[in-house]
């Protein structure tokens, strides 16, 4: 299957297995064995799924669990910014599913997609050599219960999407946004991300790696994709890693 078009298009091969430990782990092995750019692996169920910072990712059947392989090329933007590319691709694919409804999804830094302030999806990036594995989980049929945040699924909003359909939509969207990332640079991705995120001035709380908890207002993204948080004292704090919560 060829997903997308244009000068940045790659051949997307869409693989599927009924069950595996982790699609990221499987695709990492395929990458190290010479797997090609644009390869996708989807599983109906994962027994060892992982989220950011080593969190367990609950994987009941009916949701989307998949990973894709991006081979870095000379001149590509920073590999870590592929998280933003994946985020806008997921938003793009989900927006296509929500077309015709009044429901809209919204991005939250670094790469969550929310509906009515509840988490719909997550992303995990891992690298081996020149290969970046991008894992994606999207709640289609059910939403896991999390202790620290609300969750939702597309079915809760009257939208029934099969995982295979979502895989095809994501492959097409990733191909298009990877081409933008490579040909127009990170700035174009940041612009798209901000257009699909909560507005500037939105109150946020940031739990950063050094243990600080910062509260301020969203001030957009920096040129490298970091979060800019306007603090009460008038200073702007740039955040490169952490957990962000809407206040």
DSSP-derived secondary structure letter, 209: T
Which stretches of the chain drop beneath a pLDDT of 50?
1-9, 52-54
pLDDT digits (tens, 9 = 90+) for 24-83: 999 999 999 999 999 999 999 998 765 544 455 557 789 999 999 999 999 999 999 999
Question: How far is it, in rounded angstroms, from Cα 137 to Cα 121?
Answer: 5
Instruction: Classify residue 141 by burial, with Cβ atoms within 10 Å: 0-12, 13-18, 19+.
Output: middle
Question: How far is it, in rounded angstroms, from Cα 94 to Cα 120?
Answer: 10
127 SS3 class: strand
Q: Please report, for residues 34, 186, 199, 206, 228, the alpha-carbon distance to residue 222 in angstroms, rounded to integers and kept in the order given.
A: 35, 11, 15, 16, 6
What confidence score (pLDDT) does residue 183 get? Answer: 97
Which residue is it, tokens 């991008």? 134
Q: Which two structure tokens, joined as six digits, stand for 22?
A: 């982790």
Instruction: Classify residue 243 by burial, with Cβ atoms within 10 Å: 0-12, 13-18, 19+.
Output: middle
Question: How far is it, in rounded angstroms, from Cα 219 to Cα 209?
Answer: 20
Q: Which two structure tokens, joined as six digits, stand for 38?
A: 């644009």
CA atoms within 13 A of residue 240's CA, in its CB half-sphere: 5
Q: Please report, for residues 63, 89, 149, 155, 214, the alpha-carbon distance to residue 139 in angstroms, rounded to integers and kept in the order given.
A: 5, 15, 14, 8, 29
Q: State phi, psi for 151 to the nearest 5 degrees.
A: -130, 160
What confidence score (pLDDT) does residue 94 get? Answer: 98
What confidence score (pLDDT) does residue 12 get? Answer: 67
Residue 42 makes CB contacts below 8 A (sequence gap 6+) with 14, 15, 16, 17, 23, 64, 65, 66, 163, 164, 167
> Alpha helix locations (H) across the chain?
23-32, 82-98, 163-183, 186-195
């Amino acid at each position: 299957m060829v997903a997308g078009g244009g000068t940045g298009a790659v051949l997307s091969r869409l693989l599927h297995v009924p069950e595996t430990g982790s699609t990221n782990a499987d695709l990492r092995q395929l990458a190290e064995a010479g797997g090609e750019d644009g390869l996708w692996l989807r599983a109906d169920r994962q027994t060892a799924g992982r989220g950011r910072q080593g969190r367990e990712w609950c994987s009941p059947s009916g949701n989307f669990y998949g990973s894709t392989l991006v081979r870095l090329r000379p001149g590509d933007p920073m590999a870590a910014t592929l998280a933003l590319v994946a985020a806008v691709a997921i938003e793009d694919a989900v927006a296509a599913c929500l077309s015709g409804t009044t429901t809209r999804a919204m991005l939250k830094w670094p790469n969550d997609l929310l509906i009515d302030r509840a988490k719909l999806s997550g992303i995990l990036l891992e690298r081996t050599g020149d290969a970046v594995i991008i894992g994606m989980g999207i709640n289609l049929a059910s939403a896991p219960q999390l202790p620290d945040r609300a969750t939702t699924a597309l079915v809760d909003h009257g939208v029934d999407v099969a995982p295979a359909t979502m895989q095809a939509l994501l492959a097409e969207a990733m191909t298009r946004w990877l081409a933008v990332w490579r040909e127009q640079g990170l700035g174009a991705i940041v612009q798209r991300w901000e257009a699909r995120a909560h507005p500037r001035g939105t109150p946020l709380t940031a739990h950063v790696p050094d243990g600080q908890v910062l509260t301020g207002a969203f001030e957009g993204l920096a040129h490298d994709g970091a979060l800019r948080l306007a603090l009460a004292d008038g200073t702007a704090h740039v955040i490169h890693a952490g957990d962000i919560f809407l206040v």
